[in-house]
Structure 1
Amino acid sequence: METQLLHRGRLIDHIQLVVADLKASRAFYEAVFDVLKMPIGGEAEDYFWVDELFVSSKDSQAATGELTGRHHLAFQAADRAMVDAFYAAGLAAGGTDHGAPGERPYHPGYYAAFLLDPDGNNIEAVYHGAHERSAPSVEIRF
């Protein structure tokens, strides 16, 4: 068996969204993750994944035949321009406006944009202002 290497964040191991139209979701997420510089990690007939996010059809073996419902997912952006580009790419790929790019009152420097994906999930890109990452990721080898 080939050695596998996974990178995981510091809090969330993974998230799965079960969607009604996998093709429409793939177009949306591929567009916004391209802007966020996160490549598609892999795919199969009934799912694909990007980093810790798995998106599958309701017929996928990983799903239980039910859509997951509506969720809010926020992804880190490197700067304000990346938030702006995320918003434009998501709209062009079938997303719906849910909050144009701009500062939010959550804390000083919080700059974000919100889109609804094809299933109505609230997808955000956020730049928290100048910062330094404490760790890039957790590596898991098996």
Structure 2
Amino acid sequence: MIRYVDVGSNDLTRAARFYDAVLGALGYLRLSTGPQSLGYGAPGMEQAVFWVMRPWDGRAASAGNGSMPAFIAPSRAAVDACHAAGLSHGGTDEGAPGLRDYGPDFYACYLRDPDGNKLSAVCDRPG
């Protein structure tokens, strides 16, 4: 149903350090780098599905209130690694890794990137 998701950034160099580490911990890769954007996806994908970009209107990027992309993690250890990578690359904690009330195996973490965008990593496999 979803073709891609964009989040805004005011500093793509800083965003690249953050997302390369955070998404790399989940097994995702940067597939595209341009003057206005960074694109990420799974190994073997031809087109990126998650984009970090400077806003097209030229104004400052701001975090969406209520928006939060959630990335599939292959394991609970990957969720833990994603959270740790985010904190060590300029992100802030919005919820440490752990089980949540969304199902018996819903293990997730929540972060904000350096621009304030909220994201999550989720593994819903048994531990």
Q: Residue 136 of structure 1 corresponds to which residue in structure 2?
A: none
Q: If you compute each CA radius of gyration, which structure gives the higher value, 1 or 2?
A: 1
Q: Give 1:40's aligned residue.
A: 30
Q: What residue is the counterpart of 2:82 in the other structure?
A: 86
Q: Which amino acid counterpart does residue 34 of structure 1 have in structure 2?
A: G
Q: Which runs of 5+ in 1 are unaligned?
A: 1-10, 131-142
**1:96-115 map, 5 Å:** 96-115=92-111
Q: Does 1:15 align with 2:11?
A: no
The letter of the residue matching 2:9 is V
Q: List gaps (5 residues or longer) in structure 2.
A: 42-48
Count of equivalent residues: 116
Runs of 4+ in 1 over 4 A off after TM superposition: none
Whether the aligned pair in 1 keeps the contact of 2:6 and 2:52 (CA below 8 Å) is yes
Deviations 1:28-53 (A, max 9, x none): 11101111111100111221100201
TM-score (norm 1): 0.76
Q: How far apart are residue 68 of structure 1 and its match?
A: 5.2
Deviation at 1:82, TM superposition (A): 0.5
Q: 5 Å matches for 1:67-86?
A: 67=61, 69-70=63-64, 71-86=67-82
State the identity %. Answer: 37
